[in-house]
């Protein structure tokens, strides 16, 4: 500095040459800086546009292209005659994306001025928000009216993050009818997501919001669902779709055609009226389920767009337990409906001949205990036919003793007692087929011969689902050919050009002696002609084999709450009835159970009669099957034997 | 007829400089057209802006440098007064007080200072030419500091920096000793922490965001991230004019103004970007040549600093868009949409043209 300044000081005169040179020097320095700076920029461009090009190209494409899933239309569910049980309809919903709304409550309040929003809608919305963690839009109102849609659309600019969407909703046009068969759908939860994950369906469920929660909707979820389509959409920075680039359409879900006959189902449910219970009717020639009832039912439509908490509580807290599928998950002692199987077992195992008769004194002494028959004084001379027709306990007390528990269990297992039938529904109970091995495993105790006595009349540890009982009846009706019970006859209705019949060939044949089966069949026909079922089947124009039963044991765990007014009814016996018809060439086999219905002959058999009349004759009766009054002379025995171990049994 | 008109418009003006500026304008029009495809009125507006700016340039080019020098002091004084007025009565917009209402319209006085400051300093050095001492540099620094501080306080860091740079170029070209500059640089470096505490939150955030854009991908970092994606995805040859996806799907913010280079680089690729850099380099070289040949202290300093202002604009803007410098509101010279900036820039070009044209006519 000093030299420069000194230079300037020393000369009072300008030195243009020197000055100009210095100025040019400075310009050269500046130019050098400029060149270096531009060099840096050029290097930066080369770096971004050549070296990192692939990375930024991908980033730009990710920015640009969004894959929008197109949710497929869920498959329909049809009965065997093509009656629609589950379908879809399109409706407008008002949806909020919570992540885009800073103040949800205020937003909903504001929306409520345009669109009717009830407190229950708000509650449901809150529940949905708790259930879903991802930042998707959630419905605040479903099924908007056209007027509401118009009102909202006119004010849309005021509500960022709120949109009207057209969505397909599941609908069950039959209401509560066959509700336990159909089940219901609900929004996908974390548990469902886990299931989707294990089924490797995650990609296919990207646009899906509902999932089958029970019944066929659950079992056939991945069939009904269909294939999600995708639309490649070019989106702008605001996430708005600018244009569609490519589209692979969704493939609608496959329809299900059931073996179920909805009319028959309706007859059955009407016949139950207000009573609780279950019924399963099976085509013995195929295993196809013609009707499956669990009463009371529920309205699956309630669940479609998220059930409101009040209805949910009502369904769950009802002492009638409408959400339990009794046909599949209720395990009941079969009572006297077990006897035809016992008799058949005796014939097959050579323990009895049809003609072999006992003299029934009205009780059976065993191990210091007196097992009583329900008819005071006994039935007199009883052969196999009479034992079934009149439901003689004493005959089976001795028979059970002669056969032994493990022979009984071995024989009964062939009919599917004590194991899941394999019906195409989830969560089937296996029931209890008692045996010495079972008891050892279950209670770590040896089997007592006295316990066999009550098992022989369908009591004791015996506990079967109505599905198992109906399956066993169907197997008996087909002469020992075991078909897997099933609800779905055909996957695909032909509507979508795809139709796959579900194979239901005989899984196996038990190998029963046809003559033995004939003995039982004849005796069961006798039941309805001259025995315990005669009153219910008076004047029947077709031949029908049947057996009544009554079970005292409370099979289902009832709500523990003590409700005084209900106690008496709840402690009443369960009424049972099994049947198949026409007896010589069965087209239908069924098992009916009326909880706390009293005698099987009185409350269960009339339901069966209505079903069979409708199915075989096409006769429709509108009135619920009335209870038949049982005359005084019918057995009204004191409960059970003196034996405390065996639950008391009384036979019709 | 047309050629006569063109002749009138260009007579006596420096050919190479006009051609370079013309090419830059053409590139700018192409980019603005693409960036404003959804709002064609903007493109027409820009054409008008260019016509007006060219007219200003042409008129300035006719003025002799001594006449220009006469503007220096009044323009500077008026500018500073206006800045004071802004500080007292200015409009607040986006948290900054930058605009001043003057009856029919509102103006941004800081814009004036971009030309007024180098003009003033060049004029001052011209006055002190015969007896230039260190004290004169101090006075010049003071003349520079007054408007810079006023602009910083608005706050408008970008403009303040540009004005500071313009003034510094004059002082630097006037021959400030290296030692003093070195001492200043050290002092400046040491005072950085102090400056940091004086910065507004948004200014600090911009600096931090530059260091790590991903730290705020939806906020301040969004600009840088999206513009670097645009630049990088352009590749060697670009996506083609009007085919930039980042541009047309509106991922690039401010795409027709400060971030227009992202549009250009996305659609024309590395080749386009380098050509643009070469054009700017050519402009600067030509400007420095004019400065080098200028006959007086005033014209030399003025031409040199105006040229280096062009460089500053280009460097700061390109550096920002490509993610090397923080986001500062500086337009890309001759390319970005916007009338004010164009007029200022063409004023500068007009000054260069005037200096070049009249170099022989100035008596020694």
DSSP states of A515-567: HHHHHHHHHHHHHHHHSTTTTTTTT-SS--EEEEEEE-S--S---SS--HHHH
Residue A431 CB burial class (10 angstroms; 0-12, 13-18, ≥19): buried
pLDDT of residue B146 exceeding 60: yes
B173–A242 CB contact, under 8 Å: no
- Residue predicted with more confidence, B249 or A342: A342
B208 domain-assigned = yes
Listed residue (A284, A287, A427, A336) closest to A635, CA to CA: A336
Residue A586 has pLDDT above 80, yes or no: yes
Question: Which tokens belong to A167?
Answer: 């969505």
B246 CB neighbours in chain A (<8 A) are 60, 63-64
Q: Which long-range contacts (CB under 8 A, 24 or more apart) does A504-511 make?
A: A504/A286, A504/A287, A504/A288, A506/A481, A506/A482, A507/A482, A507/A483, A508/A482, A509/A480, A509/A481, A509/A482, A510/A414, A510/A415, A510/A475, A510/A480, A510/A481, A510/A482, A511/A480
- Selecting from B134, B172, B318 the residue whose C-beta is nearest the C-beta of A41 gives B318
CB atoms within 10 A of CB A55: 13
Mutate to test the interface with A, among B180, B249, B267, B309 (most CBs of A within 10 A): B249
Which A-chain residues 2-31 have CB contacts (< 8 A) with chain B? 4-5, 8-9, 12, 14, 19, 22-24, 26-27, 30-31
pLDDT tens, residue by residue, A182-233? 999 988 888 888 888 888 888 888 878 889 999 999 999 999 998 888 888 7
Q: What distance in Å separates residue B305's CA from the closest CA in chain A?
A: 10
Average pLDDT over residues A110-117: 87
The domain of B246 spans 16-72+120-133+172-357
User: CA–CA separation, A337 vs A342, rounded Å?
Assistant: 9
In a domain, B276, yes or no: yes
From the list B132, B226, B304, which residue is nearest A8 (CB)? B132
The residues, any chain, with a CB within 8 Å of residue A215's CB and separated by 6 or more, are: A179, A180, A181, A182, A183, A184, A300, A325, A425
Q: Is the model's pLDDT at A72 over the cut of 70? A: yes
Q: Which residue has the higher pLDDT, B300 or A1?
A: B300
> Confidence band (pLDDT; 50, 70, 90) for A644?
very low
Do A63 and B274 make contact, defined as CB atoms within 8 angstroms? no
Q: pLDDT (tens digit, 9 = 90+) per residue, A304-352?
A: 877 878 888 888 888 888 999 999 998 999 999 999 999 999 999 999 9
The residues of A assigned a catalytic role are 336
Residue A33's pLDDT is what? Answer: 95
Report if residue B160 sits inside a domain. Answer: no
Nearest residue on chain A to B325, alpha-carbon basis: A41
Contacts of B284-289 with C-beta under 8 Å, sequence gap 24+, read B284/A31, B284/A34, B284/B308, B284/B310, B284/B311, B285/A31, B286/B14, B286/B16, B286/B17, B286/B20, B287/B17, B287/B352, B288/A27, B288/A30, B288/A31
Query: Using an 8 Å Cβ cutoff, are B327 and B209 in contact?
Result: yes
Answer yes or no: do A23 and B300 touch at CB < 8 A: yes
Instruction: Write the DSSP string, B288-353.
Output: HHHHHH-SSHHHHHHHHHHHHHHHHHHHHHHHHHTTSS-----PPTTTSS-HHHHHHHHHHHHHHH
d(CA A549, CA A386): 15
In chain A, which residues have their Cβ closer than 8 Å to the Cβ of B175? 4, 19, 22-23, 26
What are the tokens at A624? Answer: 């619920």
A98: closest CA among A88, A90, A108, A89? A108
Beta-sheet pairing, A488-491 with A500-501: antiparallel
Residues of B in contact with A44 (CB under 8 A): 319, 322-324
Q: Roughly how many angstroms between the first and final C-alpha of chain A, as a whole number?
A: 127
Inter-chain contact B177–A49, Cβ cutoff 8 Å? no
Q: How confident is the model at residue B325 (pLDDT cuts 50, 70, 90)?
A: confident
| Pick from A329, A333, A316, A341: nearest CA to A423 | A329
Condensed to tens digits (0 to 9), the pLDDT of residues A520-567 reads: 999 999 999 988 888 888 888 999 999 999 887 543 333 444 343 444
Q: Which residues of A touch B237 (CB under 8 A)?
A: none
Distance (Å, whole) CA A311 – CA A304: 13
Residues of B in contact with A56 (CB under 8 A): 228-229, 231-233
Q: How far apart are the first and last CA of chain B?
A: 39
B37 Cα distance to chain centroid? 26
**For chain A, which domains are there?**
61-96+168-257 (3.90.1310.10), 262-617 (3.40.710.10)
Asked whether residue B12 carries a pLDDT value surpassing 60, the answer given is yes
CB-nearest to B315 from A9, A30, A37 is A37
Candidates A5, A30, A42: best to mutate against B (most CBs of B within 10 A) is A30
Please check the confidence at residue A577 and state whether its pLDDT lies above 90.
yes
Task: Kindly state the average pLDDT of the residues A74-96.
Answer: 90
| Distance between A49 CA and the closest CA of chain B, angstroms | 4
CB-based contact A379:A373 (threshold 8 Å): yes
Q: Is residue B215 in some structural domain? A: yes
Residue A172 contacts residue A182 (beta carbons within 8 Å): yes
A59 touches chain B (CB under 8 A): yes
Of B226, B236, B274, the CB nearest to A42: B274
Backbone angles phi, psi at A390, to 5 degrees: -100, 0
- Maximum distance among all Cα pairs of chain A, rounded to whole angstroms: 155
Examine the pLDDT at A159 and tell me if it is beyond 70.
yes
User: What is the bridge-based pairing of β-strands A488-491 and A256-258?
Assistant: antiparallel
Question: Per the omega criterion (within 30 degrees of 0), is the bond before A412 cis?
Answer: no
B153 in a structural domain: no
> CB within 8 A of A209, min separation 6: which ones?
A71, A187, A188
What average pLDDT does the structure give for chain A?
A: 83
Average pLDDT of the segment spanning B211-237: 79
Q: Is A36 on the interface with B (CB under 8 A)?
A: no
Q: Is residue B34 part of a domain?
A: yes
Q: Give per-residue pLDDT as tens, B261-292.
A: 999 999 999 999 999 999 999 999 999 999 99
List the single residue in A1, A57, A236 with the smallest CB-CB distance to B249: A236
Nearest CA in chain B to A1: B177
Give the nearest chain B residue to A41 (CA atoms). Answer: B319
- Which ipTM score applies to this complex? 0.93
Name the token pair of A365: 């002494």
B246 to chain A: nearest residue by CA? A60
Note whether A241 contacts B: Cβ–Cβ < 8 A: no
Residues 6+ apart with CB under 8 A from A143: A91, A92, A93, A169, A305
Quote the pLDDT of residue A504. 59
The Cβ of residue A497 has, within 10 Å, a number of other Cβ atoms equal to 7
| Digit-coded pLDDT (tens) for A55-68 | 999 888 888 887 77
Q: Is residue A332 classed as helix, strand or coil in its secondary structure?
A: strand
Select from A16, A45, A66 the residue whose CB has the most chain B CBs within 10 Å, as the one to mutate to test that interface.
A45
Of A1, A5, A59, the CB nearest to B233: A59
Count Cβ neighbours within 10 Å for each residue of B104-142 and write b for 16 or more, e otherwise.
eeeebbbbbbbbbbbbbbbbbbbebbeebeeebbeebbe
Q: Are A360 and A387 contacting, i.e. CB atoms less than 8 angstroms apart? A: no
- Does residue B7 fall inside a structural domain? no
Q: Is residue B362 part of a domain?
A: no
Q: What chain A residue is nearest to B183 in terms of C-alpha separation?
A: A1
Give A573's DSSP letter: P
Q: Are strands A256-258 and A77-78 parallel, antiparallel or unpaired?
A: parallel
The reply to whether omega before B239 is within 30° of 0 (cis) is no
How many structural domains is chain B composed of?
A: 1
- CB-CB under 8 Å, A5 with B133: yes
Tokens representing B87 are 């500080």
Q: Which of A12-21, A161-170, A338-347, A608-617 has the lowest mean pLDDT?
A: A12-21
Q: Which one of B138, B168, B232, B261 would you mutate to disrupt binding with A, by most A Cβ within 10 Å of its Cβ?
A: B232
- The minimal CB distance from A45 to the residues B231, B284, B300 is found for B231
Res A346: pLDDT: 93
């Amino acid at each position: 500095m000093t030299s420069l300044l000194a230079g300037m000081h020393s000369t009072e005169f300008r030195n243009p040459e020197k000055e100009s040179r210095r100025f040019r020097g400075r310009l050269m320095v500046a130019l050098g800086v400029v060149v270096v700076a531009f060099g840096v920029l050029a290097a930066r461009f080369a770096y971004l546009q050549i070296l990192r090009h692939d990375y930024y190209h991908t980033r730009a494409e990710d920015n640009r292209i969004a894959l929008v899933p197109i949710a497929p239309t869920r498959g329909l569910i049809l009965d065997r005659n093509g009656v629609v049980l589950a379908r879809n309809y399109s409706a407008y919903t008002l949806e909020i994306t919570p992540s885009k709304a800073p103040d949800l409550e205020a937003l909903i309040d504001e929306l409520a001025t345009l669109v009717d929003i009830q407190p229950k809608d708000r509650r449901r919305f809150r529940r949905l928000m708790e259930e879903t963690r991802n930042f998707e839009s959630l419905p605040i109102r479903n099924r908007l009216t056209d007027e509401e849609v118009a009102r909202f659309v006119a004010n849309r600019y005021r509500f960022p993050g709120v949109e009207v969407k057209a969505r397909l909703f599941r609908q069950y046009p039959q209401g509560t009818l066959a509700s336990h068969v159909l089940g219901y759908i609900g929004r996908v939860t974390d548990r469902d997501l886990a299931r989707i994950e294990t089924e490797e369906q995650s990609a296919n469920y990207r646009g899906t919001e509902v999932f089958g929660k029970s019944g066929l909707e659950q079992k056939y979820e991945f069939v009904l669902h269909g294939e999600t389509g995708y639309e490649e959409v070019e989106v702008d920075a605001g996430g708005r779709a600018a244009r569609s680039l490519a589209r692979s359409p969704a493939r609608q879900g496959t329809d299900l055609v059931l073996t179920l006959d909805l009319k028959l189902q309706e007859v059955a449910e009407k016949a139950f009226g207000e009573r609780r219970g279950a019924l399963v009717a099976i085509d013995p020639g195929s295993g196809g389920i013609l009707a499956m009832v669990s009463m009371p039912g529920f309205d699956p439509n309630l669940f479609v767009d998220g059930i409101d908490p009040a209805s949910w509580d009502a369904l769950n807290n009802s002492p009638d337990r409408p959400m339990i599928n009794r046909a599949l998950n209720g395990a009941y002692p079969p009572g006297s409906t077990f006897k035809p199987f016992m008799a058949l077992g005796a014939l097959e195992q050579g323990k009895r001949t049809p003609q072999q008769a006992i003299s029934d004194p009205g009780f059976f002494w065993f191990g210091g205990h007196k097992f009583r028959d329900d008819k005071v004084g006994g039935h007199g001379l009883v052969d196999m036919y009479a034992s079934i027709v009149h439901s003689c306990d004493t005959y089976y007390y001795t028979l059970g003793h002669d056969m032994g528990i493990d022979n009984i269990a071995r024989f009964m297992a062939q009919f599917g007692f004590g194991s899941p039938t394999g019906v195409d529904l989830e969560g089937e109970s296996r029931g209890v087929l008692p045996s010495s091995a079972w008891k050892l495993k279950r209670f770590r105790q040896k089997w007592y011969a006295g316990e066999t006595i009550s098992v022989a009349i369908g009591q004791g540890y015996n506990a079967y689902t109505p599905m198992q009982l109906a399956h066993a009846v169907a197997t008996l009706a087909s002469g020992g050919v075991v078909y897997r019970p099933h609800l779905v006859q055909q996957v695909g209705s032909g509507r979508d050009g795809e139709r796959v019949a579900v194979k239901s060939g005989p899984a196996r044949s038990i190998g029963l002696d046809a003559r033995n089966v004939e003995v039982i069949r004849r005796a069961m026909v006798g039941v309805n002609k001259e025995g315990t079922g005669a009153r219910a089947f008076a004047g029947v124009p077709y031949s029908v084999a049947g057996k009544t039963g009554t079970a005292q044991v409370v099979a289902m765990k009832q709500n523990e709450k003590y409700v005084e007014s209900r106690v008496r009814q709840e402690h009443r016996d369960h009424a049972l009835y099994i049947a198949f018809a026409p007896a010589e060439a069965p087209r239908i086999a069924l098992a009916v159970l009326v909880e706390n219905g009293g005698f099987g002959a009185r409350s269960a058999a009339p339901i069966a009669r209505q079903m069979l009349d409708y199915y075989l004759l096409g006769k429709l009766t509108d009135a619920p099957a009335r209870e038949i009054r049982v005359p005084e002379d019918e057995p009204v025995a004191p409960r059970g034997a003196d034996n405390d171990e065996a639950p008391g049994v009384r036979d019709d | 007829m047309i050629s006569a008109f063109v002749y009138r418009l260009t007579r006596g003006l420096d050919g190479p400089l006009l051609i370079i500026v013309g090419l830059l304008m053409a590139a700018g029009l192409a980019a603005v057209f693409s960036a404003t495809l959804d709002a064609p009125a903007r493109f027409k507006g820009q054409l008008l802006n260019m016509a007006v700016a060219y007219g200003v340039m042409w008129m300035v080019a006719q003025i002799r440098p001594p006449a220009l020098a006469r503007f220096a002091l009044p323009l500077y004084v008026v500018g500073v007064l206006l800045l004071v007025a802004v500080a007292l009565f200015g409009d607040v917009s986006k948290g900054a007080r930058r605009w001043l209402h003057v009856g029919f319209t509102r103006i941004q006085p800081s814009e004036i200072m971009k030309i007024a400051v180098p003009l003033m300093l060049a004029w001052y050095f011209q006055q002190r030419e015969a007896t230039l001492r260190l004290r004169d540099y101090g006075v010049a620094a003071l003349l520079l500091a007054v408007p810079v501080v006023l602009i910083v306080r608005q706050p408008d860091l970008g403009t303040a920096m540009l004005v500071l740079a313009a003034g510094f170029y004059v002082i630097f070209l006037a021959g400030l000793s290296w030692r003093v500059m070195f001492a200043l640089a050290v002092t400046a470096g040491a005072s950085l922490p102090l400056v940091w505490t004086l910065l507004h939150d948004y200014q600090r955030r911009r600096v931090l965001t530059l260091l790590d854009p991903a730290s705020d991908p939806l906020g301040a970092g969004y600009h840088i991230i999206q513009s670097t994606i645009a630049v990088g995805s352009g590749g060697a040859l670009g996506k083609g004019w009007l085919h930039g996806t980042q541009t047309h799907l509106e991922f690039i913010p401010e795409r027709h103004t400060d971030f227009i280079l992202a549009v250009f680089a996305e659609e024309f690729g590395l080749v386009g970007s380098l050509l643009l850099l070469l054009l700017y380099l050519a402009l600067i070289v030509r400007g420095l040549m004019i400065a080098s040949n200028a006959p007086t202290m005033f014209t030399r300093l003025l031409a040199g600093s105006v040229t280096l202002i062009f460089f500053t604009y280009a460097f700061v803007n390109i550096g920002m868009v490509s993610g090397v410098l923080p986001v500062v509101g500086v337009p890309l010279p001759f390319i970005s949409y916007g009338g004010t900036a164009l007029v200022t820039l063409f004023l500068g070009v007009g000054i260069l043209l005037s200096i070049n044209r009249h170099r022989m006519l100035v008596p020694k």
